A and B are shown apart, each in its own frame.
Chain A
Amino acid sequence: MNKKLLYSLVALAVVFFVVALVIFLSGSGAEKAPAGTTVPGAQREAVQADTVDLKLFFMDQSDWRLVPLTMRIPRPAVRTQLYREFLRLLLQPREGSRAPLPEGTSLRALYYLEADHILVVDFNQSLVTGFPAGSRSEMEFIRFIVNNICYNFREIHSVRFMVGGNEVKTLSGHIDLSRPFRPNFAYLKKDE
């Protein structure tokens, strides 16, 4: 009987080892996520339609809300590529549409934490080094990014910010960035 127990234990240990190895290897090809986060399963999700309609909201000097600009783009093969393309369109300098962020700001990486419905967006250092200071500027930037993302991708419930691959306390000494931000669509101007 002792032998039986021993064999069972060994067999169980081998099974656990194999399962752990499979889990480890299946995650090794994915984009590296921050410590304590889950690997985004949506990255491998196939999509059906050829194009996707997006509504990008920009600043308008005559309205306190962000005003919409509709775009249709080819749909990328995986969802995180769509998020990435959306942010690229949002950040790129555009005639007549203002984005509240410093020149040179670009996206370094993003991670979708599917279980928590959080998108982690990691910007380059220009975001901090070129930031104009002022709490209102920080709020304008945060609302711009969070509302745009959450309005277009309803599976994302909140957005967390990183800069240069690291967590940051604030952009320029005001709003705490240690927690994810939820959207407030009151800041978006709908189509008239």
Chain B
Amino acid sequence: MREDYTDGSMRYHTIIIGLLLLLPVTGLSLNVSVRSFDYQDHTRLVFEGDRSFAYSVAALEKGFELRLQEAARTDREDIQLAGDRCVQKVQPVPRHDGTVYRVETRTPVRFQRQFVLENPFRVVFDLAADEQSPPAVPSPPQEETESSPPSAGFMRINTVCIDPGHGGTDLGAKGSTSDLVEKDITLKVGLKLKRLIESRLGLRVVMTRETDAEVSLDSRAAMANNQKAQVFVSIHVNSSYRRGARGTETYYVSLEATDQEASELARKENAAVGGNAFDPAAADDLRLILWNMAQTEYIKESSKLATYIQNQLNDVMNTRNRGVKQAPFRVLMRAAMPAVLVEIAFLSNPGEEELLSRDGFLARVAGGIYTGIAQFITYHNQRYK
């Protein structure tokens, strides 16, 4: 018996050591990336592993420690703190029994929420300022569900960000019969809109550009987030391979582009073809990916803002029944506030190109967008007063 036990034990140890030897071959070492986003009332801090990991949390006077029970690797470029309003620094500290991520915050914080997501594995903390008491260790993680209440800002709107698309060497769309370029048109409309909002609503307006400057897509949303804007409106001019394409379109974010006419047919058509477009498992993947976007929390309000603006622009363009649309616009995905993108008209359409050359038309467009924003602000402020 003794011999059997010993042999069994030896085999057991051999397997364990063998598995350890396999680590470098199978890539089971743990890599963790860290990112943060600022929202109106909290900061979201996400630790993403290339596989799941065990951890515990310990509170600090200003911040907390995420303690992993194994060694993890995090390079400097793996820490992206886009939200720096609350989180000052995240420092991975190797220890003999694992790796500790020391999160230093500017002020004492409390854990608004904490949850874990899969595929990829993520530990998510929503942190809010807490001047009164040191942070309590959060309760055990719970599975995030679709029914979780949104925590969109309950503040009155006082800052609007206007984003005139393109600029500098990035001309955007070009006219087919003239030398009109998108970057000039969007700047003209943006500046007119700024004046209207400041003079009539008395709100602060942040512009992503006020001159013919080149600004990267990611900087535009970051600028709005850092300036704590509560509404983001990106202005563009459209172009299509179909010369007949015309009209105004207002978009809010989604992972897949939709058109009014197509979305009406999509489910029926895809089902008829037997495609995989509505595979429930895949739909669930999309939901999880959505939680990764800063814009996720604001999609309902973005839809409302888009509807107000589109209704006004339908009047300006004398078109009816044009609904709002959804598409994965990069500039909107990182905005942590209600955010929409307006495509004023088509430069590829000779008729609309002529309209876009008129200052009077651009003033009416700015007026339409202004009225839509004003209606949204009234709706928002009444809802949350």
Inter-chain contacts of B249 with A (CB < 8 A)? 136
Q: Does A89 contact B (CB under 8 A)?
A: no
Inter-chain contacts of B172 with A (CB < 8 A)? 133-134, 172-173
Q: Does A157 contact B (CB under 8 A)?
A: yes
Given contacts A142-B257, A186-B269, contact A176 B240 (CB under 8 A): no
Q: Does A169 contact B (CB under 8 A)?
A: yes
Q: State A171–B174 Cα separation when bound (angstroms).
A: 15
User: How does the 8 Å CB contact mask read for A135-164 relative to B, with 1 for contact and 0 for none?
Assistant: 111011011000000110010010000000
Q: Does B43 contact A (CB under 8 A)?
A: no
CB distance from B4 to the nearest CB of A (A): 13
Q: State A56–B99 Cα separation when bound (angstroms).
A: 54
Inter-chain contacts of B245 with A (CB < 8 A)? 136
Q: Does A179 contact B (CB under 8 A)?
A: yes
Given contacts A133-B171, A157-B282, A170-B217, contact A185 B166 (CB under 8 A): no
Contact in complex: B170, A173 (CB < 8 Å): yes
Chain B interface main SS type: mixed
CB distance from A116 to the nearest CB of B (A): 10
Contact in complex: B328, A5 (CB < 8 Å): no
Given contacts A5-B13, A170-B217, A185-B277, contact A61 B266 (CB under 8 A): no
Nearest CB in chain B to that of A23: its residue: B25
Contact in complex: B244, A20 (CB < 8 Å): no
Interface size on B, residues (CB 8 A): 63
CB distance from B61 to the nearest CB of A (A): 38
Q: Does A187 contact B (CB under 8 A)?
A: yes
CB distance from A77 to the nearest CB of B (A): 27
Contact in complex: A179, B242 (CB < 8 Å): no
Which of A100, A132, A133, A186 meets B265, CB within 8 Å? A186
Question: Could you list 27 A-B pairs, sorted by A, with CB under 8 Å?
Answer: A12-B14, A61-B243, A64-B262, A132-B173, A132-B174, A132-B241, A133-B166, A133-B172, A134-B173, A134-B348, A135-B238, A137-B240, A140-B241, A142-B257, A151-B273, A157-B276, A157-B282, A172-B172, A173-B331, A174-B330, A174-B331, A175-B257, A175-B327, A179-B328, A183-B277, A184-B266, A184-B270
Given contacts A134-B347, A181-B256, contact A100 B261 (CB under 8 A): no
Inter-chain contacts of A20 with B (CB < 8 A)? 25
Q: State A79–B171 Cα separation when bound (angstroms).
A: 41
Q: Does B165 contact A (CB under 8 A)?
A: yes
Interface centre among B165, B170, B275, B282 (most CB of A within 10 A): B275
Which of A8, A133, A169, A179 meets B255, CB within 8 Å? A179
Inter-chain contacts of B333 with A (CB < 8 A)? 176
Which of B14, B174, B270 meets A9, CB within 8 Å? B14
Q: Does A47 contact B (CB under 8 A)?
A: no
User: How does the 8 Å CB contact mask read for B247-277 relative to A, with 1 for contact and 0 for none?
Assistant: 0010100011111011101101110011111
CB distance from A137 to the nearest CB of B (A): 5
Contact in complex: B239, A137 (CB < 8 Å): yes
Contact in complex: B330, A170 (CB < 8 Å): yes
Q: Does A46 contact B (CB under 8 A)?
A: no
CB distance from A76 to the nearest CB of B (A): 24
Contact in complex: A133, B182 (CB < 8 Å): yes
- Number of contact residues on A: which range applies? 35 or more
User: How does the 8 Å CB contact mask read for B183-222 relative to A, with 1 for contact and 0 for none?
Assistant: 0000000000000000000000000000000000110000
Q: State A132–B245 Cα separation when bound (angstroms).
A: 14
Other CB < 8 Å A-B pairs besides A137-B241, A169-B217, A175-B327, 5 of them? A9-B18, A100-B241, A174-B327, A184-B270, A185-B277
Nearest CB in chain A to that of B241: its residue: A100
Chain A interface main SS type: mixed
Contact in complex: A150, B10 (CB < 8 Å): no
Interface centre among A132, A151, A169, A186 (most CB of B within 10 A): A186
Which of A16, A154, A174 meets B18, CB within 8 Å? A16
Inter-chain contacts of A19 with B (CB < 8 A)? 25
Nearest CB in chain B to that of A20: its residue: B25
Chain A, 1-58, CB within 8 A of any chain B CB: 1, 4-5, 8-9, 12-13, 16, 19-20
Q: Does B57 contact A (CB under 8 A)?
A: no
Q: Does B21 contact A (CB under 8 A)?
A: yes
Q: State A188–B328 Cα separation when bound (angstroms).
A: 21
